[in-house]
Amino acid sequence: MKNPKKIARVILKGFRRHYRLFQEITATVKDHYKNQNWQEIHQAAANRISYYDSRVKESVIEVKHLLIDQQMDPSLWSQVKQNYREFLSFHPQAELAETFYNSVFCNLFHRGYYNNEFIFVETTLQNRTPVPIDSEYRSYFPVEDPGLGIVETVKRIILDFDFGKKFVDIDRDVEILQQAFFKQAPHTHHQPYQMRFDILKAPFFRNKSAYIVGRVVSLSGIQPFIIPVLHNAKKGLFLDTLLTDPRQLTILFGFARAYFLVKTHAPSALVRFLKELMPKKTIAELYNAIGLHKQGKTEFYRELLLHLTTTTDQFIVAPGVKGMVMEVFTLPSFPYVFKVIKDKFAPSKGFGRDTVLKRYQLVKEHDRVGRMADTLEYKEVVFPKERFSQELIEQFQQTIAGSFSIEGETVVIKHLYIERRMIPLNIYLDNANEEETAEAIDEYGKAIKEMIGVNIFPGDMLLKNFGVTNNRRVVFYDYDEVQYMTEINFRKIPEPRCYEDEMAAEPWYSVAPNDVFPEELGTFVTTLPHVRKLLRTLHPEILEASYWQEIQQQVAKGEYIDAYPYPDQQRFYHLWKKRISEVG
């Protein structure tokens, strides 16, 4: 006889195994950071992304062994869900466990059963006692030891993290940090007995940085802050800067950056703390930012379903030049785009669907350095048919007939990617003034330099494949031609042998599939003369094959650039230099 409670326990056991392994991988990062094993940190981040699906597959196999047949038994699965829900009453990772259950169920049965009766389309945790936020942070009260003062309290906060390395000069760093606090947030300047510090217990690791995240609670209210801790390669650790500006915090946790690696026993509590620091961030975005991207997908889907019930506008073709690989549509009232791989590509694309899937996964697992948009990947997504115009459905029938179907009053997309909507750079430039144009082209050049500096060759660098964010940063979002820098052959165009060569319609030199000629970049990315001139003025290096070859050699040796998610002029080392020059 089928045992619903046993099935529920098997799924929960699979989740516990997943989360234990997830936390074990995360825990290794502290030692990697201490020993400056940067490649191992990147590998840990990539492993965390793939482990989830492996654990789901294991649980699916176990559940199948408990089922007499593979037919859906509604009464059985209603009981399984009820038992599972009871197991989660006081579970510290309950919301993640719900998502894991959904993943197992959806791998077992047809999408017709993806509803509230059998899976957690809506969370059942809303009316239950939440895990207290203070389980994820510790508080420091300067008033408890007036003799220490605020400076010594801040010093203790930093040293309590025990990064395993000594600081080059912790007293110097804390003094500069205090000065930065007074300058950036003068309202936090109170007596020790008039404030406290709430600090998340675990540091946030990403690339070569560890971040201390907290807030000052005072008579003036709450002031969020983040302190990056970096390595001096040989001497020890140092505090690199102080971030208090809401815009900078948003960029640090932005959708174009790699996920943080941070240990957490109660993710919902951690996310709620972060939400208080960054109220404009959605819950989905914050789960994504801390590496729980499957939960981020769940929360995002719930946001989408809620949005569809509270709006009436229809999906439209996304503004911009039509792509040769993706069909892209959007909902004007919702700040995202939906991308579906076309059935057939343009003849100039010498690859197929499998290559596109691999390249999007490559970007998912790579360091995106704030220049490549994160993608949420979904399968078997159901939309109300009434939200699609007949014109758009007819276009789908021409371009993605193999990836969508109409079932009654619904449109089903078999596989799609969802990305944050941005203004395509070419459209942005059409409406930009002189200052905005210069800023955008400077950002475009920086985006290219930062991507190639971490071993990502964007491939198609046309302006239409870059977007401008709300913070006026330029971000790449078209990944079908992405490759590693080490796979490309960068060449200088040979000098013409004669006048006929120079005037010929076709190249007078041979071109292999992976040959790239950077000096052509200024010509083919835009037809606008003033934009070409700006690119040559602001970033002349990227038009030289030798520059690309030099970067290629560096990344081949594992020497990636350090792309800091905050302005260079804000870094503390400028103050060190100033002090040294004044003393000298």
State yes or no: 322 annotated in a binding site: yes
Helices 94-108 and 38-66 cross at an angle (nearest 10°) of 60
State yes or no: 1 annotated in a binding site: no
Distance CA 319, CA 134 (A): 45
Residue 414, CA distances (Å) to 39, 401, 569 in order: 35, 10, 47
State yes or no: 342 annotated in a binding site: no
HEC assignment per residue over 347-373: CCCCCCHHHHHHHHHHHHHCCCCCCEC
State yes or no: 563 annotated in a binding site: no
Distance CA 11, CA 100 (A): 8
E runs forming strands in 399-457: 404-407, 410-420, 423-424, 456-457
- Phi, psi (degrees; rounded to nearest 5) at 34: -60, -40
Distance CA 21, CA 152 (A): 37
C-alpha count within 13 angstroms, C-beta hemisphere, residue 137: 24
Confirm whether 245 is a catalytic residue: no
Distance CA 551, CA 42 (A): 19
Which one is catalytic: 374, 460, 478, 480? 374
Do the bridges between strand 336-341 and strand 376-384 make them parallel or antiparallel, or are there none, so unpaired? unpaired
Distance CA 188, CA 219 (A): 8
Distance CA 161, CA 69 (A): 52
Q: How many CB atoms lie within 10 A of CB 285?
A: 23
Residue 154, CA distances (Å) to 6, 230, 276, 368 in order: 50, 17, 21, 32
Residue 336, CA distances (Å) to 295, 317, 563 in order: 18, 12, 26
Closest Cα partner for 72 from 113, 107, 41, 22?
113
Residue 87, CA distances (Å) to 83, 84, 119 in order: 6, 5, 15
State yes or no: 319 annotated in a binding site: yes
State yes or no: 414 annotated in a binding site: no
Task: Give the residue numbers marked as catalytic.
Answer: 374
Known binding positions = 318-324, 339
Known binding positions for ATP = 318-324, 339
